[in-house]
Amino acid sequence: MTAPTADDLRTRVRALLAENDPKTVARLDFLRARFDAGLAWVHFPAGLGGLDAPRSLQSVVDAELAEAGAPDNSPRQIVIGLGMAAPTILRFGTPEHHRRYLRPLWTGEEVWCQLFSEPGAGSDLAALGTRAVRDGEDWVVTGQKVWTSGAHLARFAILVTRTDPGLPKHQGMTYFVCDMSAPGVEVRPLRQITGEAEFNEVFLSEVRIPDSQRLGAVGEGWKVAQTTLMNERVAIGGTPMPREGGLLGPVAEAWREHPELRTPELHDRLLKLWVEAETLGLAGGRLRQQLAAGQPGPEGSAMKLAFAELNQALSGLEVELQAERGLGYDDWTMRRPVHIDFAARGPGYRYLRAKGNSIEGGTSEVLRNIVAERVLGLPSEPRVDKDVAWKDLPK
């Protein structure tokens, strides 16, 4: 079957709009119709919100619908579902999983979160200890997860567990879909330096998960998790930005508004960061071209690393450009945000929140190792615990 062309997609968009006028059709009904028309994520298979089209043609659909005033699915609010859960479910899920989860995930009817990191397993995710024990057709899961974005809003979670502690840490792991409303799931807020509580700690106390909610084979949780992690880093660091997008916009605005604060040194720093932002944008375009040809690779780790460092440098420069105004903070009220909105807050918030960019989605230290070993081909670090059973590792 020949893949659809850009003109084919424009024709489909016109047909969708003719049958579902955005001015009169309810938002959710329009999104469901868009999914059923294969115009949600065009590179997905037909029948699952896509048309087996090149990923690059998604921009054609989005532009046509935006011009018509059609609603989108608020992607910033459901980024974990779109960027991490969906690619993993598509690759490792059963046809039943595809039919059950993908449509409400894309429309935003069901929000997803990610139960990966633990108090003793963050940078070294393979050291996780949350146990899943088989009991008939169910698994009984007990443990604690931490730094879980949006868990207080989530209907489902992607969850990695330890199912065989007698194997080395990268083995004996199994991956599940967890119902966040199941008995035994407790979500507690974690207040951050910004005053917000977008993150959570999640306690799992004998939570029963049917084996039918397993993604991938028993013991192959690390393999499945790698798909999630590679897509996560692309979702964080590879998002396309317009010129002066992201944190570069507030810095450029502060530079224009406060000429009295300009110095040659600050001018040089701004130009350097401007060039880095443009370079990152071009690299992101190249990465998206690679994605169109297959699964994301380790290059996404480099993008996420560069994104974190650029954000921290830009937010620091903005505070300096604001002089004493940059030391203020707009609101310490504890909030439970639906998504992160850098633009809606002041420079103090942006400076503090950007610190988290070098932790979330993989720490910068871990990402440097990935880039060194898997992109540059440098020798890997010695790993003395690689073949040691997880149960025998120091805890």
Q: Is 102 part of any domain? A: no
CATH of the domain at 272: 1.20.140.10
In what helix (H) or strand (E) does residue 80 lie, and over which residues does it extend?
A: helix 79-80
- Give residues with Cβ within 8 angstroms of 266, minimum separation 6: 255, 317, 320, 321
CA-wise closest residue to 88 among 199, 220, 248, 196: 220
Count the residues in the chain.
395
Q: Is 105 part of any domain? A: no
Q: Is 261 part of any domain? A: yes
Q: Which of 196, 232, 299, 318 is catalytic?
A: 232
Q: Examine the pLDDT at 107 and tell me if it is beyond 60.
A: yes
Strand partners, 113: 157
Q: 325 with 261: CB under 8 angstroms?
A: no
Domain boundary among 14, 46, 72: 72
In what helix (H) or strand (E) does residue 366 lie, and over which residues does it extend?
A: helix 364-370
pTM, entire model: 0.87
Counting the structural domains of the chain, the total is: 2
Q: How far apart are CA 58 and CA 334, in angstroms?
A: 37
3-state secondary structure at position 357: helix
Q: Is 270 part of any domain? A: yes
Residue 206 is among the residues annotated as catalytic for this protein: no
Question: Tokens for 373?
Answer: 């070993």
Beta strands in 163-272 (DSSP E): 173-179, 185-190, 199-210, 214-215
Q: Is 384 part of any domain? A: no
3-state secondary structure at position 183: coil
Question: Containing domain of residue 45, as a range?
Answer: 1-72
Between the CA of residue 62 and those of 6, 34, 72, what are the distances in Å? 12, 11, 9
Read off the pLDDT of residues 252-299 as tens digits, 9 standing for 90 and up.
998 998 888 888 999 999 999 999 998 888 877 776 666 655 556 677
Domain boundary among 51, 72, 93: 72
Between the CA of residue 330 and those of 18, 63, 333, what are the distances in Å? 46, 35, 9
How much of the chain, in percent, has pLDDT values that exceed 90?
A: 62
Contacts of 353-360 with CB under 8 Å at 24 or more apart are 353/192, 353/194, 353/315, 354/247, 354/308, 354/311, 354/312, 354/314, 354/315, 355/193, 355/312, 356/192, 357/236, 357/307, 357/308, 357/311, 357/312, 358/308, 358/309, 358/312, 359/147, 360/147, 360/149, 360/236
* Residue 179 vs residue 360, higher pLDDT: 179
| Mean predicted lDDT score pLDDT of the chain | 90
Domain boundary among 41, 72, 103: 72
Read off the pLDDT of residues 20-67 as tens digits, 9 standing for 90 and up.
999 999 999 999 999 999 999 999 999 999 999 988 899 999 999 999
Question: Locate tokens 């709009």: which residue?
Answer: 17
Q: Is 350 part of any domain? A: yes
Q: What is the pLDDT of residue 293?
A: 55
Q: Is 40 part of any domain? A: yes
Q: Is 100 part of any domain? A: no
Read off the pLDDT of residues 193-235 as tens digits, 9 standing for 90 and up.
888 898 999 999 999 999 999 999 999 999 999 999 887 766 6
Q: How far apart are CA 91 and CA 9, in angstroms?
A: 24
Q: 160 with 118: CB under 8 angstroms?
A: no
